[in-house]
Structure 1
Amino acid sequence: MTSPARTARAVITTMRPRQWTKNVLVLAAPLAAGVVWTRGTILDVVGTFIAFTLAASAIYLLNDVIDAEADRKHPRKRTRPVAAGLLAAPTALFCSGMCVGLGVGIGYVIAPRLAATLGIYVVLQITYALWLKRQAVIDLAIVASGFLLRAIAGGVAVDVPLSQWFLLVASFGSLFMVAGKRYSELRSIGAAAGTRKTLEAYSESYLRFVWSLAAAITITAYSLWAFEITSAGDVNWQAVSIAPFVIGLLRYAVDVDRGLAGEPEEAVLRDPILQIIGVTWLVVFAIGVYSS
């Protein structure tokens, strides 16, 4: 019989703590809008991070139950607790339901619209896990929507308007990351492994086209947005921020091109230069926003 401590460790592992870094995207809209960081605003953003972490963890738990058989054929995913037999499917499903309830509940306390955003995320991801992940192109859009909804959630939580440029950058930036993820998967394990059905429908050249196109639109939208924002000082810091933004995308694209971006958060965490570029961009952009 599995001990409670071992089961708890298996549940936490299945909740993918390393991927919780994605939920930092809830900071994007408040930072872009230049919100005043009062105690209430900080609590709302932290609460949104926790709520999205719970909602995403619920999907990971559910997905691992659904994909257990396929995961056993994958060189890395076969060690996941459900696939390896370390976590029973009923336990994983129970914990998934608990996470959804807690996440949406926290979202509702912060703002009813945030609860609705979380609900949309959960419904889309469940539909993806059960059906849409086998539909070529649609699977890219659904996974990208997960990143986009995180960015939207931060704006909804603190009640700031989301500009068209912000939504364009977030949308196509998300597509860039997802297409790069699929490209890396195709290069590392190939379509014949049978671990992801849609990989059979993609070629390396097609996915390269998608992530190149998404990167081009992201950079264009970001540049237009940066020049549209006026700065109170002599220096247009938003325009200056274009340089580290583009360099950061190009640096990340190196990992994509080498097939090393199958897990975007891992690609970022193992590259200190990319992290420095990211912090530089964030500082320059923040100076522009808060000085305008």
Structure 2
Amino acid sequence: MAVRSRPKIRALLIDISGTLMIGSTPTQQATQALAELRRSKFPYRFCSNTSKESTSVLQKRMIDAGFDVQTGESPELWTSLKAVRSLIRSRGLKRPYFLLSATAKDECISEGLYDPNVPYDAVIVGLAPALFDYDRLNSAFRILVGEDDSQKGRREDPKASIPLIALHKARYVESSGHGLVLGPGPFVAALENAAEREAEVLGKPSRAFFETVIESLDCDGEGCIAVIGDDIEMDLGGGAIDLGLWRILVKTGKYRAGDESKEGVQAPDEVCDSFAEFVEKLLSGESNCSALPRRH
């Protein structure tokens, strides 16, 4: 079966956790590689499903680790929390029930967007390990099915318009010093099963998230946009496939041997040992780290 060579790439979407950093520690040569991208004026954006901390906390952690992250009118760092905040505004949500860390929740409800005196009108779930106990998950379930005390007598069909919103549905994540640990996906799945509805995913790998980030890039011209990450499904699946992005899997973070050939998952276009290796080959014009045949 023929192997595709790498096309011309005009911009890069970069995963953070597991690709650039594990915890607060950069992956091998990642800071230097990013600096080379900056010096070459190659367009890129950081794409994160972070929900355990706010965007500003993540940005500071990246800067402290040695990464140059610029802000301003066209920010480089895009997170699923930004998508949540935009959704709350666009839908006029007044009182979501949050299963989010304190800093993540504060980012979503700033500027007086929260009214504790109205019934709950959404359930929003991110990575919040300390909140995934029976009582809080049960509260989320009861809101979704219209059984919460705040909803009683307040609408004809209290469960009809209560959305279940997930920042992402990763089954597991890489934890610094601990290896793989549970992500929010299994807890979202439990709520989906109990409430008999499918969660709306706002972060990767949703097509809408990728489209929003791509719109922020000033990179018209020939070539394709590439996405690089350590999770074949959450970083490189879904919308990344739908949009025809060139998909690079790195063998760092949550990557485990054989991920690139998982049954039922579309193989990546390229597999590299690290982010730094990919950048070196990209900027030097070298061929793929390793290209994989397409499964049909």
| Structure with the largest fraction of helix | 1
TM-score, normalised to structure 1, is 0.29
TM-score, normalised to structure 2, is 0.29
Q: RCO (CA 8 Å, sep 6+): is it higher in 1 or 2?
A: 2
